[in-house]
Structure 1
Amino acid sequence: MSQIFLVIGCAAFCILLADGMSDFIVKPLVARERPCNDPIFKSCITLANNFRATGYSFFSSHAANTFSIAVFFIMLIRSRLLSIILISWSLLNCYTRLYLGVHYPSDIFVGLIWGGFVGFLASKLYSWAYKKIAPNITYVSKQYTISGYDKKDIDVVILVIVIILLYAIFRSVIIYI
């Protein structure tokens, strides 16, 4: 149970630090207008469902949050397939921010850099805390990843992510038909 709480705590740390820095410190200081509200770009952007975001643009909290979680779990679980899926999930999320006209590419880029740093920091925090609460175990079976996670459990997580993605694609196709 302590390991579960540690993973949840580090994931929460990722969101709090990535989102907190963006929303409460950087965005108010930079005060950059969103592309969908910028008079120069406003007419060039086609709004989806007349959605026009409010607030400031720099830097993307969505990019920072999703990439911090992706990097944290990539470093925690160390599964190549899950890594590819998490990076793809994060980049797809970033693309939606550009598509909706709520962020400039530089907002996304800085969000990814900050999120990667936060995810790395959370993984180091996890490693430090895990050494304090758990014995040193070496996993040498092909059933487990290097970090000790059962590959069957990772397959379930991947299946859930793929089902959610397929559902989102299905819903978006139905809405626009």
Structure 2
Amino acid sequence: MALLPIWRSIQTKLHGIVLVMALTLVCTSPWILIGKQLRSNAGFWDIFHVYGGLFTAVIAVLFAIKVCVKGQWRLFFPWLVADFNQLNADISGMVKGRLPLSGGKGLLSVIEGVGVILLLLVALSGVIWYLADPSDALMWRSYHQVLAQGFIGFVVIHVLLALLHIRDFFG
């Protein structure tokens, strides 16, 4: 029970920590020079990317737990239980020119769920790249890069959808 207050304190900050770490890792990734493994004379950004990435992997798992506890996973992953009602309604509404509402089991929540999956896949591929035998490391590096590009695409969509969400406060 002593961990419950600590968990509550951490979970309120997870989205922000994921945001800051992911953006920092993405924005500094062009400056890193890592192939099969971290070089002995690695620069600051190489070291930060590896160990900041490992930290972010832990935070990503905690974030995924946070969004899935107490049945919330049904909001982000309704397709796992073949619940497509609100998703279909949102898509039908878009065809008719209506923007989907935030919350519930609709399109915006499903997109957020895809983002959580991409975040976990980027984290997992980075951890495996870090742990991989040098003969397999470049393969995992390429997986990590492709998944990171997918995650970047998600972040762009997420920001655009967040801007749409602002309209809910003024609409």
More helix by share: 2
With normalisation by structure 2, the TM-score equals 0.29
With normalisation by structure 1, the TM-score equals 0.28
